Structure 1
């Protein structure tokens, strides 16, 4: 039952070339950076990553991308990473863009044993009809395009609409960051850092969690637990001082009060 591993490096030691990995985080919030850096140090290549985004050029999954370790991304948003755009348009990187809600449900379905589901999102677009560029040839042409998906009509609450069939996602591994966790793998996430992490963890056949604080079984209130330990296979404590980044900091300049106010 004790799932604690001594270090991030040991936790990801069996992640091999070509592995598929679901990674929690949204922007730079909730990134499992210690596990990502351990993968970088281990030198593993040709990774296929499923994550909402790919970090930025020098942080999060962006460090793996910049080192040429990622072969394929399945994401919803990639706009903050210039190297991502360069690799994609040069034909070095394969990318499947998935609507954000659909991506979340694909991960949740995979973790719940649901093979596929029907959704209205993407009907009438290249998401359903096929033809989205997955990989370019480096000369402006499309080397690989998405295939058409099955579309059917369903009547829901008396309204008949078209729905597209989306397949679930499962991965070899999943990496997530949590605020607290116990030795059995039960996890508590901090506010918005919860984001994609629980469903990414559900989708992994082997799920590895880095936690800021490791507690003993029974110390977590069952009502506080966001992800039960049945979905988690390894836990590594990284401490409260683990680096965290803010994607964009905006503050309003102080305004001097008017005279006589």
Structure 2
């Protein structure tokens, strides 16, 4: 039986009102051609209508790899549930993604779940469980008491409920059917046996396919290569063809955003090559200071944003090198790439020069099991109650990503980011900083716009947490923040205290200076 067809043929059977699920991680492993065909079908015919889309992770970069933006059309998309959203400004047009427009204009039911829940939920769908149950997310934006993960006013249905088992409060995510799954692999034969040899991430594609089949649904697999059946070893096949209904070949699909075909995302390091430079400035200062918190032989997980600069700075400083203690530093991300160097920007998630790769659901077993003892994460807001926000602020609504699971389960936390944002301009001279223009928006606020993780609650259960900025370092305690370091050249009152909407509960006296070497280009 030959299952190979065009993308247009593969999506032709999708019907009004169905649930369509697809998987990608920014630009990695995105079945872009198939999603584009579905969006184009709606533009041409007005069908199918009123679909629910389920994306375990933000799929596509909304620029060169459009991903979920292909289907972000009123009438086509009725509801979207996603583990994260993509908010970039297209450098060519200056516009944000179409999906962001739908959300901000309240033209779609938009729900945001932590990626851990969005992936683990698929396992419950696949085994026909009533739903996914978790402690993670209590007291955050997905808690029904704090919004239930609803990002638009159109959201009327409660997709997350609070339940009690043996007197304990828990979050419950009921399951529903997935009608169509769209996944991506590297190679397929005409029967549909899939291998992933050119993909630097696996994410939740296999779980998504099994969930759809358990519901009696269809699975569309987009691949780069068509091979003869029997050419590959059985242990190279990660998903048997019996679970695949349609195969779409796209021989030109890119590995990831601005990455065509780069084997360095698939092979362990002999030497580090083609790593991005981090320009000298506040981000590098923050990464240098945060790098001092990384310990040898402690599984360390890095989040999207400023935190992802830390491993690159450690390479630049010579702390990490294939010939020098490289095996002593254990780095990973929420998407299952182990070893090598965590990348930043749109290449985040897939490590360069990795040693090993886990699928997304297994990686969240690692995270939720507390095996990632150290976590470095970015922050957008930190409030007086000890809540940190990265999920929704201003006009941006990226969701939590893996942040909530990671923060909840790590033993040591470091939150990184600039003190203010919106036009911040800092000069450096002789190991000191000088603020030429202050940012318009302080990140230390009285009340966060969204609660992605309650740091104060984590402290009470034994976590340690630092907040590292370009001008100050704070230790989080159950009572509030203690200022422990200040940058050379910074004025305590003008540059720190006056830029906070709440006061630290303590300031070390004498107050140590951050090391001057951090501020030297």
Q: TM-score, normalised by structure 2?
A: 0.42
Matches within 5 A, 1:197-236: 197-204=205-212, 205-236=217-248
Tell me which residue corresponds to 1:50.
54
Verify: 1:132 aligned to 2:148, yes or no: yes
SS at match of 2:150: strand
Per-residue CA shift, 1:188-238, capped at 9, x if unaligned? 123434212112222221001011112232223221222222321112222
Q: By percentage of residues, which structure has more strand?
A: 1
- Deviation, 1:39, is 0.9
Q: Which blocks of at least 5 consecutive residues in structure 1 are unaligned?
A: 137-141, 155-159, 255-261
Tell me which residue corresponds to 2:338.
none
- Contact 2:108–2:154 under 8 Å retained in 1: no
Tell me which residue corresponds to 1:246.
257
Tell me which residue corresponds to 1:100.
115
- Deviation, 1:61, is 1.6
Tell me which residue corresponds to 1:185.
192
Structure 1 residues 134, 128: CA separation in 2 closer, same or farther (over 3 Å shift)? closer
Q: Which blocks of at least 5 consecutive residues in structure 2 are unaligned?
A: 89-95, 260-273, 280-521
- Contact 2:162–2:169 under 8 Å retained in 1: no
SS at match of 1:195: coil
Structure 1 residues 235, 116: CA separation in 2 closer, same or farther (over 3 Å shift)? same
Larger radius of gyration: 2
Per-residue CA shift, 1:31-89, capped at 9, x if unaligned? 11111121122123432111112534341121221576322111011142533232212
- Contact 2:30–2:59 under 8 Å retained in 1: no
Aligned-partner Cα distance in 2 for 1:169–1:222: 33
Tell me which residue corresponds to 2:72.
65
Considering Cα pairs closer than 8 Å and 6+ residues apart, tell me whether 1 or 2 has the greater RCO. 1
- Contact 1:88–1:135 under 8 Å retained in 2: yes
Tell me which residue corresponds to 1:157.
none
Tell me which residue corresponds to 2:202.
194
- Contact 2:143–2:171 under 8 Å retained in 1: yes
Q: How many residues align?
A: 242
- Deviation, 1:90, is 1.2
Q: TM-score, normalised by structure 1?
A: 0.80
Structure 1 residues 39, 72: CA separation in 2 closer, same or farther (over 3 Å shift)? same
